[in-house]
Structure 1
C-alpha cells in the first residue's frame, strides 16, 4: 500500500498534492481513523526528509513537528497491534505515547518551544524539519540513559514502561532508537534501493541483493531493521523468503535460521502473522480479502519452495496462524447460507417509500460468497476442504432457489412494494454474479427485464 501511495503522489502536481493534503488534514480533524490517511501523510514527511519540501503544502499543521520527528521510522510502522512484538516493527499507536512522554518527562521546555514555533504561519516545512532534527539530537542521549538504566534494573524498566505507555511502547522505543542511531547508514541504504522491490531484485547477483548483503554483513546486529526497510518496499512479502534463501545460498530453512540473514525470513513470518491478525480482527471486506490473498501467497511460497519442518520455531508460528484462520473461515462459511437468506429478504420501506436496505447483512452475505470463491485455491493450505465443499453446495441451492423465487414473484409484486422487491432482486443478482459468474448473472438480468416488461403490458391492458 505504501508503494502504491508513493507512486500516486509522484504522479500529482504540486497544487493537486496540496489540495489532497488539505482535504486529508480536514478528515483527520473530523476524527476519521482511516489508516490510509496516515500512510499518505507519512509518505509526504518522508519526501520532506529527503529534501523534497517544495512539494509539501505550506500551511502549518498541529502534528507537523511530530511527524517530522518520527519520519526516520516511517517505513518501520505497522498499523496493527501484532500478537507478538517483532523487532524492527513499530506499532503506529505507540508514537503518540512516546511523543507524550518526551514532551512531559524528557524535554518539556524544548518540545513546548519547538511546538509553538512550528505552528507559526511564517514557518516553512524545511524549518520544521530542522526543529524536529534538533529535538532528536537533544533527546537521544537522554533516552539512551533511561534505557541503559532500565536494562540493568527490572524495577526501573517497569517504571519506564509505565511512563512511556506500556511494555509494547517501551519495546517500540528501543526499535525507534536503533533506527535513529542508524540513520547514517540506513538513509544511504534507502536511497540506493528502488522504491519497489520485486522478486527479480532479489535474484543472485542483482544490484539490490548485493547492496542489501553488503549492508547486512557490516551491520549484522541491526539486520532486523534492514529487513523491515526492505519489507516496506517489497512488492510481496514472500519475496523476503527468497531473498533470505539467496543471501544464505540455501533453501534449507534450518540453515537460513542459523545464518546472518535470518532476519529477512523472520520479517516474512511476521507479515504472515499480521495478515492473520487483520483477517481475524474484524475489518471491511476489501481489507479482509487483500490480507487473505497476501497470506495465501506467502504460505503457498513456503509450501512449494521450502520445508517448514526444518525450522520448528517458524513452523509453529505458521501453524498457529493456520489454526486461527481456519477457525475464522469455518465460522464465516457456516453462517454464509443463513446470511444470504437474510440478505435476500425484501426490505421494508421508509417514510419516503425508499427501501431500507440491511447493508451490514448484505456485506456479510457478500463476504461469505467471496470467501468461498477464495477458498477454491486456499482451502487445502488452510485446512478448510470439508467446510468449503459443504458450503458451496449449500450456497448453490440457496442462491438459486431464493433468486428464482424473487424473480418469479416480481411480476405480482404490489406497485407500492416494487422498489423494495427490485432491491432484493438486484442484491440476489449481484451475489449470483460473484458465485456463479457473469453469464449466469446476465441471464438473471434478462429475466428481471422480462418480468418488468410483463408488468407494464399488464398495466396497459388493465388500464
Structure 2
C-alpha cells in the first residue's frame, strides 16, 4: 500500500488541471467496475481538493460551466461501453475543455475566461450568457473546420487522448458539436415538455411527435438528443417506442 505522505508528495507535483483529469479518469474506471488496488487514498486526496458538494465529478470552472450549459440536460455518469446516442458522458467535459483551451483556440479561450469571470463577479448574468453564446458559436465553427479534414480529425483524437484514456471522448466531442449547433432549438423543445409525463397516451404522443417533427425540419441530427429529453420525462424509457408506432 502506498503511504499517504508519498501520495500527497506525488500529487503536489502535478498541475491542478492534471489532478482534476486524474480524478476524472479514476472515477470513470471506478464507474466501469475496474479494480484499482491502492487507489483509495489517491481518490480520497483528490476528492478532498475538488469536492465542494456531493457531486461525483470535479467542479468545473465558471467559464466552462457556462460554455457547457446547453449540454447539462443530456449529461450522464457511467461507462463508455454503455453509451447512448442521445447522451454525453460527463467525464468527457474536462478533456474537451482542456483541448479547447490548449489546442483549438487557446488565445480566444483565455479572453473568454477573463471576460466571463468579470461578468460573473459583477453579477451580470445576462452578459455572461451572451458572452458564452458568442464563444460557443466561435467554437462550433472552429471544430467544424478542424474535424472537416481527415488530418484534423486524427490530430484531435491524438490530442484528446493526452487528456483522457476514455475512448468515448472523440465521439462525445462530435455529439457536443451537434448539440451546440441546435442549442436554441433543443432548449425550446425541452421547455415545451412537461416536467413529468405521467401518462404517455395517444394525445401526449401526438403532441411530442409534433414537437419532434418541428425540431427535425431544421436540426435532424439533434433528434436523438430530443428523444433523450423525452425519455427523461417518462416513467419508463421503453415507452419511447410509442413514438415509432
Q: TM-score w.r.t. structure 2 length?
A: 0.67
CA distance in 1, matches of 2:48, 2:193: 32
Match in the other structure for 2:84: 86
Once the 2 structures are TM-superposed, how far is the Cα of residue 222 of structure 1 from its aligned partner? Answer: 3.3
Match in the other structure for 2:106: 108
Match in the other structure for 2:20: none
Match in the other structure for 2:244: 248
Query: Which residues of 2 match residues 376-415 of structure 1 at below 5 A?
Result: none
In structure 2, the residue corresponding to 1:119 is in which secondary structure?
helix
Once the 2 structures are TM-superposed, how far is the Cα of residue 97 of structure 1 from its aligned partner? Answer: 0.9
Classify 1:225/1:203 alpha carbon distance in 2 versus 1 (closer, same or farther; 3 Å).
same
Once the 2 structures are TM-superposed, how far is the Cα of residue 173 of structure 1 from its aligned partner? Answer: 0.7
CA distance in 2, matches of 1:159, 1:100: 13
Query: Which residues of 2 match residues 215-234 of structure 1 at below 5 A?
Result: 215=214, 218=217, 220-234=220-234
Unaligned runs of 5+ in 1: 1-26, 42-61, 250-463
Q: After superposition, what is the alpha-carbon deviation per residue over 1:185-230, rounded to whole angstroms, capped at 9, x for unaligned? A: 21221121112222x1x21122643434434663554331111222
CA distance in 1, matches of 2:140, 2:125: 22
Choose from 5, 23, 31 the match for 2:51.
31
* Larger helix fraction of residues: 1
Q: TM-score w.r.t. structure 1 length?
A: 0.37
Match in the other structure for 1:454: none
Once the 2 structures are TM-superposed, how far is the Cα of residue 164 of structure 1 from its aligned partner? Answer: 6.0
Once the 2 structures are TM-superposed, how far is the Cα of residue 122 of structure 1 from its aligned partner? Answer: 2.5
CA distance in 2, matches of 1:135, 1:63: 15
Q: After superposition, what is the alpha-carbon deviation per residue over 1:360-399, rounded to whole angstroms, capped at 9, x for unaligned? A: xxxxxxxxxxxxxxxxxxxxxxxxxxxxxxxxxxxxxxxx
Match in the other structure for 1:174: 174
Q: After superposition, what is the alpha-carbon deviation per residue over 1:275-324, rounded to whole angstroms, capped at 9, x for unaligned? A: xxxxxxxxxxxxxxxxxxxxxxxxxxxxxxxxxxxxxxxxxxxxxxxxxx
Contact 1:117/1:123, CA 8 A, preserved across alignment: no
Once the 2 structures are TM-superposed, how far is the Cα of residue 180 of structure 1 from its aligned partner? Answer: 0.9
Once the 2 structures are TM-superposed, how far is the Cα of residue 145 of structure 1 from its aligned partner? Answer: 1.5
Larger relative contact order (Cα-Cα within 8 Å, sequence gap ≥ 6): 2
Once the 2 structures are TM-superposed, how far is the Cα of residue 163 of structure 1 from its aligned partner? Answer: 5.3
Contact 2:92/2:172, CA 8 A, preserved across alignment: yes
In structure 2, the residue corresponding to 1:83 is in which secondary structure?
helix
Unaligned runs of 5+ in 2: 1-46
Match in the other structure for 2:201: 203
* 1:190 and 2:203 correspond: no
| Equivalent pairs, count | 194
Q: CA RMSD in A?
A: 3.1
In structure 1, the residue corresponding to 2:195 is in which secondary structure?
coil
Match in the other structure for 2:72: 74
CA distance in 1, matches of 2:180, 2:137: 9
* 1:159 and 2:158 correspond: yes
CA distance in 1, matches of 2:152, 2:180: 24
Contact 2:212/2:226, CA 8 A, preserved across alignment: no
CA distance in 1, matches of 2:141, 2:195: 32
* 1:126 and 2:126 correspond: yes
Contact 1:161/1:167, CA 8 A, preserved across alignment: no
Match in the other structure for 1:63: 61
Once the 2 structures are TM-superposed, how far is the Cα of residue 182 of structure 1 from its aligned partner? Answer: 1.4
